Amino acid sequence: MKLIRLLTITIILLFSLSLTLTADAQKLQKAGNTDCGILYVDTDTVRTVKKDGQYYLAVAAEEKYTDAEFLASLRQGEDMQQATAAVYLYLFDNRGANYCIAAAYIVDAEGKVCADVGSNMTLLPVGKDKTMSNAYSMALKALENKNRWQKKKNFIR
């Protein structure tokens, strides 16, 4: 139980740090279309986390809403008049076959949080969802590049 709490705190801290980055500092890559907009993966936030002896790939993503009807409906809520996007922290299993949502927030154009949507730590299958499959592939490639750079940096020393 303490391990789960510690992992959750660590993930939320990583996610909070990623929210504080300005849009210019982020490396957002388009993963694909969703029901309500376009999902972008922030490749700067890719990390691995370990829970119960298993490794997970953690990555922040932003879903920019493009569906006018959905946005109109969303903006009817209290404190949601400026909402433009959602920010997620995804955890993928080591095969990329399943994922969960460790944190989710509705944000405005400036990145200010309008609402905390919560989390869903139940592993969901990626299945035939091309956008989530792309998000995993992009995150994995970013982690590989980061590790490759780190190895070269350590070799030079």
Most confident of 22-26, 52-56, 123-127: 123-127
Say if CB 49 and CB 147 are below 8 A apart.
no
| CATH, range 2-156 | 2.40.128
Q: What is the pLDDT of residue 20?
A: 45
Residues 6+ apart with CB under 8 A from 73: none
Neighbour tally for 81: CB within 10 Å:
11
Q: What is the pLDDT of residue 53?
A: 86
Where do the structural domains in the chain lie, given as residue ranges? 2-156
Please state the rounded mean pLDDT for residues 85-107: 95
The helices-and-strands tally (H runs, E runs) of the chain is 3, 6
Q: Which residue is listed with tokens 């190895």?
A: 151
pLDDT, one tens digit per residue, over 53-95 is: 889 999 999 999 999 999 999 999 888 999 999 999 999 998 9
Please state the rounded mean pLDDT for residues 141-157: 70
- Above 70 in pLDDT, residue 26? no
Percent of the chain with pLDDT over 90: 67
Neighbour tally for 153: CB within 10 Å:
9
Give dist(CA 111, CA 117) in Å, integer. 15
- Above 50 in pLDDT, residue 22? no
